[in-house]
Amino acid sequence: MEKYINKVQMFASKFGNISYVKAITDGVSAVIPAIIIGSIYTLLGNIQIKPYLDFIDSTGIKDYLSLPNNTTMGIVSILLTFTVAYSFAHSANQDGVSAGIISICSFVLLIPFEVLESGSKGIPIIWLGAQGMFMAMIVGVVVGKIFVVLKEKNIEIKMPENVPPATVRAFSAIIPGFIIITVFLLIAAVLKNTSFVTFPQMVSTLIQTPLSGIGNSVWAVALIWMLSNFVWFFGIHGIVVVSVVNPILISIDLDNLEQTSAGLEATRIIGKNFTNVYGGATGAGVIMGLIILMTFFAKSKQYRTLGKLSIIPDIFSIAEPAIFGTPIVLNLVLIIPFILIPTISIFAAFFLTKVGILPILNGVQLPWSIPVVLQGFLLGGWRVALYQVVLLVFSVIAYYPFFKVLDKKAYALEQGQTNGTTEAN
């Protein structure tokens, strides 16, 4: 396993040094503080303790707790399109700030404005958050590349030598910025005359259309969850994939709830609760296993610190700090267990339910932040809660060989840096 992971890691290292990939990786890393801060406030507003919830509701505190998430995760795509373009240009020794600003302008240009009842215009906020991240990465890389090419070819306004550097940078970005904005304006104009109409719609359609005809069989659900976890590799929130079948799965849950409310037994195994309990426990990739390893078994300070930051949010299924902090994004090693663990769990749970070892879940719609195990108990009783305990143990074991290699390399790097610092002193 270690030899295999080393080979994958060697390929991943070469892959990660590609300028486009490196820009995306560095760009995602730069927005981690905003993601973690937003996640903490989301957690504070959704702790499932009734007296606490009643208190923050009655005092109006909950409304304020939602604001930081709107201004962090809620605009993460805008932040990302800046940081990706900045990273691309900066790594080429060009003006990253100007590239980032132009990238934001280009990103917003591609989003269709909506006319409100008052007559004013607004931007659909859905594309500014996690759902627009893939588009933000595309725009950031394209803007960064064009900006660097134009600057290297000296397609810019030249200023006299005695002009302040800040003024020189500002004027030198005018021509590249005008060309880039024009390119994206043409893209928006062309797409308007196609079936996609807008760039966001094109991205959404290309991801969702292939999945629109999928039913609700265990094979279909397993495929959907494999895809939803796989797209995290590119920094795309898995909700983009699962949202296609959520209405179908929720309707199945409601059928089961109607039966159990009438005193009958639920009959339909697969529903939204089934995927949440068995495929999405503790968040995408059943990532709590990895977080436990980082928190309690990591030798490197990097992973140990990340584990401590991530473990409490993930108890309430807020997995973004771990996903973006590790990161899972563009990580060719960890994406393997990240995809396989939920997939194996879905098949195992379906079989155990089919033979009667696990009960069919009752269809109750719980808040998404209910902690694992408690979630299983409320939806299916002690047997489902026990299954989730076993799933957590399995996830720790499954992540271990992959994490061990990464932690070993991170620890060696930290020790090398420490020794180098000591020798220099």
Element (H, E) at 121: strand 121-122
Half-sphere exposure of 414 (CA within 13 A, CB side): 13
Least confident piece of the model among 132-136, 174-178, 236-240, 418-422: 418-422
Tokens 């799965």, residue? 249
Find the mean pLDDT for residues 74-80. 89
Give the pLDDT of residue 347.
93
Find the mean pLDDT for residues 298-309. 89
Q: Would the pTM count as exceeding 0.75? A: no
Give the pLDDT of residue 74.
82
Answer yes or no: are the C-beta atoms of 224 and 217 closer than 8 Å.
no
Answer yes or no: are the C-beta atoms of 107 and 135 closer than 8 Å.
yes
DSSP string, 304-329: HHHHHHHHHHHHTT--HHHHHHTT-T
Give the pLDDT of residue 22.
83
Give the pLDDT of residue 313.
86
Give the pLDDT of residue 315.
86
pLDDT at 105 over 80: yes
Find the mean pLDDT for residues 202-229. 69
Find the mean pLDDT for residues 264-273. 79
Phi, psi (deg, nearest 5) at residue 51: -60, -40
**CA-based R_g, the chain, Å:** 24
Rounded CA-CA distance 87/24 in Å is 8
pLDDT at 113 over 60: yes
Rounded CA-CA distance 148/141 in Å is 11
pLDDT at 318 over 50: yes
Give the distance from CA 218 to its chain's centroid. 24
Answer yes or no: are the C-beta atoms of 313 and 372 closer than 8 Å.
no
Rounded CA-CA distance 103/109 in Å is 10
